[in-house]
Amino acid sequence: MKKYLQITIVLGIFAILVFFRQMKGNSQPVVVGNTNSSGNSNSSQNSQSTPAQPSNSNSQLTAQPTTAPILGSYKNGTYNGSVQDAFYGSLQVQAVIANGKITDVIFLQYPNDNRTSQYVNSQADPMLKQEAIQAQSAQVDIVSGASASSQAFQASLADALSQAK
């Protein structure tokens, strides 16, 4: 019962954010800043924050500071990230590198076993993919309403990109 209450609250907040975004006429994605090592989120999009990076122990997500990669600094190829726990299911991405840059991010696995997960991921996954390609790193903002999937995305993509160095 507690899980359903949590889902209802998250979806309610997500619906309110979408409503306000539509009222503003803003076509930008609704995001919250990256989480730092204390688990607090930084809601200012203009400030610098510490990105979440993968931990190889039991698929737990932890935040560790890293430096941004130099553009074009990856080896060409296709690299699979590690499978990460996204709370409602597993998430795994594949990074496609061409000419030393991220050209595509493919979702190999993502939570989609219920209608809520399908809806949330249909909204969040394209935003995460677009931002990763634009940033040329796994250092992307967390999408509101999909924080577990966002953190799992960051960790899986960071693992794939570490293989491409």
Hey, where are the domains in the chain?
29-163
Mean pLDDT of 56-79: 61
Look at residue 20 in the predicted model and tell me its pLDDT.
Answer: 62
Topology (CATH level 3) of domain 29-163: Sufe protein. Chain: A (3.90.1010)
Of all residues in the chain, the percent with pLDDT exceeding 70 is: 65
Instruction: From residue 43, give the alpha-carbon distance in Å to each of 37, 38, 66, 86.
Output: 15, 14, 20, 21
Stretch among 8-17, 30-39, 99-108 having the lowest mean pLDDT: 30-39
SS3 109: strand
